[in-house]
Chains A and B, each alone.
Chain A
Amino acid sequence: MTNEDFVNALSQQLNLEPSKTLELLTATVNIINEKIEEGARISVDDFGIFDTEKKPEYIFVEQKSQQQFLVPPEITVVFKPDSAFIEKIKEKAR
């Protein structure tokens, strides 16, 4: 499902104009981005957690040339779903 379809689905459920839903969605995503940039963890009950993890630097060996590269550290975003989120997903297979 694309972002546009998601906005339409949310609009129908909330009984809002798609343009208003898009405005609210954009603002929500921007807030999440800003908080993640500050190093915060976003934790929502029944949904999950958006968190950051620092991956330490490491040496990467290229298979063909066997050249070694020093890969810098990286802070990545991870999503840890709540058990309620997983339960909803399980409906897919039933």
Chain B
Amino acid sequence: MKEEVNLKQLTLLLADRVDISHQEAESFLKKFFATVPEILSKESLLEIKDLGTFTLTKISEEDDAKAAKEENDNTLYFKLRFSPAETLKNSANKPFLYFEKVLLNEGVSLEGLTVVEEKKEKGTREEILIKIDRNKAFSSNIKAKQKTRKRPIARWMPVLGTAAVVAALIFFFMSAQRKAQAIKNNPEKVTAKTTTTKAPEPNLAILNDSSRTSNPLPKEPEKIQLAPDKTLRLIALEKFGNREFWVYIYYKNKNKIKNPNIVPVGIELIMPDKTEYNIDASNPQSVAKAKALGDMELKKFQ
């Protein structure tokens, strides 16, 4: 269950932090939170250092789908976007900060994971759509002008929709065929690779979804010093019940460990929280995933 911090708690924390009265802190915070939307009602951008940038943009009249929608329900659309500052981004993503994008070998398949094409990824951004009644916002002659301009787009919508469905079906059919062909041509290679480098994880996406609600963030991580006769693998075995989880200790301390094969004796290591990386020695998928990540990391130092 997530801790919820409201204005009252923020007031107490601020008053304590800068040594001012509760009334002063409350008055400042109320004004601060009230001023943000006030400014956005006049300006399209507001940048707050170390917090983020709020941007408000009107959806362009040439935006096909949205424009067609506008024509139907007679409303105007704005996009409100909050882009967190680097500091806030890193604070939130601390458990995965040192994880990197890894190139997958040919033939490796990770079932259950979503596949995102480059084009689609560019379009995924956190935005809030704000609808505004056009009648109140603009005069009727502007509205008429916009309507005539959008009519051809609306006419093409069914054709574009059908084309998109056909393209999706072709893509699905082709990828299934390609996969079947790969297994047929070299079944040993495919199965060997999937078991040694990347074990299939059918329930991975579901596991991540469930962990989203529980929000496993450690508060005070355990720290240990590396004894002369210890290795990351031995610590992983002692702490997590399996040697393969060494890779998560490495990720957690990547800023201190240059090469996971050579870890200096006496170094202070921060232990990862089990929930951060879904560490579960009794779960073969969790072990297989750790092994695959470990193999990938070691390849970088060969």
Contact = CB atoms under 8 A, between A and B. Distances in A.
Interface residues of B, number: 85
Given A73-B208, A76-B89, A89-B56, A54 B10 contact: no
A31 B13 contact: yes
A3 B78 contact: no
Given A36-B91, A90-B130, A60 B121 contact: yes
Interface in B102-135: 102-104, 108, 110, 113-119, 121, 126, 128, 130, 132
Given A10-B32, A86-B130, A92-B56, A45 B101 contact: no
A13 B31 contact: yes
B33 interface: yes
Interface in A61-87: 61-63, 67-81, 84-86
B92 A37 contact: yes
Interface string B7-37: 1001001100110100001011101111111
A13 B163 CA distance: 55
Interface of A: 1-3, 6, 9-10, 13-14, 21, 23-47, 51-54, 56-63, 67-81, 84-86, 88-94
Given A14-B27, A44-B29, 20 more contacts: A13-B31, A33-B51, A36-B92, A39-B3, A40-B2, A43-B5, A53-B212, A54-B212, A58-B114, A58-B116, A60-B116, A61-B117, A69-B103, A72-B102, A76-B92, A78-B82, A78-B126, A81-B128, A86-B128, A92-B78
